[in-house]
């Protein structure tokens, strides 16, 4: 494991915000650390980076205990928490050259990193004029300069537009696939993590609710077919008679588990043939809140 924690806990005063976390982050994974705002993600990340001292429990990075191997471990971690430390009056390249000099890294690596994060064309532009997405990518390039094995990113796509999110996602996939990095990324958006993570840890109120392979999460976060109709009662009865598991029944809508496009067509046909008007029918992904409910039920 690249990161392994045991019984990790943290309190701010009397409020315990991280509760006995046992994280397991495999080598080469994109590990999505998922949880709503205030769940304890940033606090956990700060402990992993030795920016906060743990109350209880232990942290192993690259199978070495963090406290007793701080310098060796931290030199192998690149991180981005909150805003990247960027000088607005300097260009992207100057920001990187400046950091390269401080780290004693070869200047050649600066152009390599600019290419990797797709900022070569904007390298001469003042970083203060970059879009939010470009700033985040410059932040990641800065974090990667020293060629760390592990990258820890706290909500790197916060506030980005869809294009900016896609650019970051593609970059992280390239980093693990082509450059053998391990990426630990926090987010409060299930949909975003599902699209790139290989492993997931889900945290709520400081507690780890789920951890495992993304495929295991998919089984729990199964999508639903959302059906809006003029006659919910008849629709529910008809679907149940046909062995569909009806859920979320409201005044004008209900859901059944999604299996395939074909099955969605069959459901639509069944309703229509029985005189039930379907105003809308679509595939609906679970949001984080509904996922919590499913996890709690399946536990």
Ligand X SMILES: Nc1ncnc2c1ncn2[C@@H]1O[C@H](COP(=O)(O)OP(=O)(O)OP(=O)(O)O)[C@@H](O)[C@H]1O
Q: Is 156 in the site for ligand X (CB under 6 A)?
A: no
User: Which of these segments, 33-41, 93-101, 162-170, 254-262, binds ligand X (CB under 6 A)?
Assistant: 33-41
Site string for ligand X, 41-80 (x = CB under 6 A): xxx-------------------------------------
- Each residue 164-193 as x (binds ligand X by CB under 6 A) or -, in order, gives ------------------------x-----
Angle at 77 between CA 74 and CA 78, to 5 degrees: 125
Alpha carbon distance, N-terminus to C-terminus of the chain: 25
Nearer to ligand X, 23 or 225 (CB): 23
The answer to whether 32 touches 210, Cβ cutoff 8 Å, is no
- In 3-state terms, what secondary structure has residue 270? helix
Stretch that binds ligand X, among 22-30, 37-45, 171-179, 280-288 (CB under 6 A): 37-45
| Tokens linked to 123 | 């390298």
Which listed range, 30-38, 115-123, 223-231, 254-262, lies at the site for ligand X (CB under 6 A)? 30-38
| 12 touches ligand X (CB under 6 A) | yes
Of 38, 191, 257, 265, the one binding ligand X (CB under 6 A) is 38
CB of 244 to ligand X, least distance (A): 37
Give the nearest distance from C-beta 9 to ligand X in angstroms. 12
Q: Which of 4, 188 has the CB closer to ligand X?
A: 188
C-alpha 126/C-alpha 194 separation (Å) is: 34
121-124 contacts: CB < 8 A, separation 24 or more? 122/92, 123/91, 123/92, 123/93, 124/91, 124/92, 124/93
Could you tell me the sign of the dihedral formed by the alpha carbons of 74, 75, 78, 83, in that order? positive
39 binding ligand X? (CB under 6 A): yes
Phi, psi of 41 (to 5 degrees): -65, -50
> How many residues in total does the chain contain?
299
Note the residues at the interface with ligand X (CB under 6 A): 12, 17, 35, 37-43, 155, 188
């Amino acid at each position: 494991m690249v990161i392994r924690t045991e019984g990790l806990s943290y309190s701010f005063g009397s409020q315990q915000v991280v509760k006995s976390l046992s994280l397991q982050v495999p080598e080469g994974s994109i590990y999505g650390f998922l949880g709503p705002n205030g769940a304890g993600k940033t606090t956990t990340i700060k402990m992993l980076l030795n920016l906060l001292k743990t109350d209880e429990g232990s942290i192993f990075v690259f199978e070495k205990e963090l406290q007793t191997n701080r310098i060796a471990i931290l030199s192998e971690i690149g991180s981005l928490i909150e805003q990247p430390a960027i000088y607005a009056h300097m260009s992207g390249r100057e920001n990187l050259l400046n950091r390269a000099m401080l780290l004693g890294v070869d200047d050649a690596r600066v152009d390599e990193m600019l290419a990797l994060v797709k900022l070569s064309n904007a390298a001469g532009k003042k970083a203060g004029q970059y879009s939010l997405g470009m700033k985040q990518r410059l932040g990641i390039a800065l974090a990667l300069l020293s060629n760390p094995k592990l990258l820890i990113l706290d909500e790197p796509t916060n506030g980005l537009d869809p294009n900016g999110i896609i650019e970051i996602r593609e970059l992280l996939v390239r980093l693990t696939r082509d450059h053998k990095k391990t990426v630990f990324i926090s987010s409060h958006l299930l949909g975003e993590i599902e699209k790139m993570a290989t492993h997931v840890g889900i945290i709520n109120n400081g507690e780890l609710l789920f951890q495992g392979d993304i495929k295991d999460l998919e089984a729990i976060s199964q999508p639903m077919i959302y059906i809006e109709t003029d006659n919910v009662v008849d629709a529910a009865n008809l679907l149940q008679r046909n062995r569909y598991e009806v859920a979320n029944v409201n005044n004008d809508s209900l859901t059944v588990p999604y299996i395939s496009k074909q099955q969605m067509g069959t459901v639509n046909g069944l309703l229509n043939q029985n005189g039930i008007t379907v105003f809308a029918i679509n595939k609906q992904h679970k949001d984080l809140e509904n996922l919590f409910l499913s996890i709690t039920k399946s536990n």
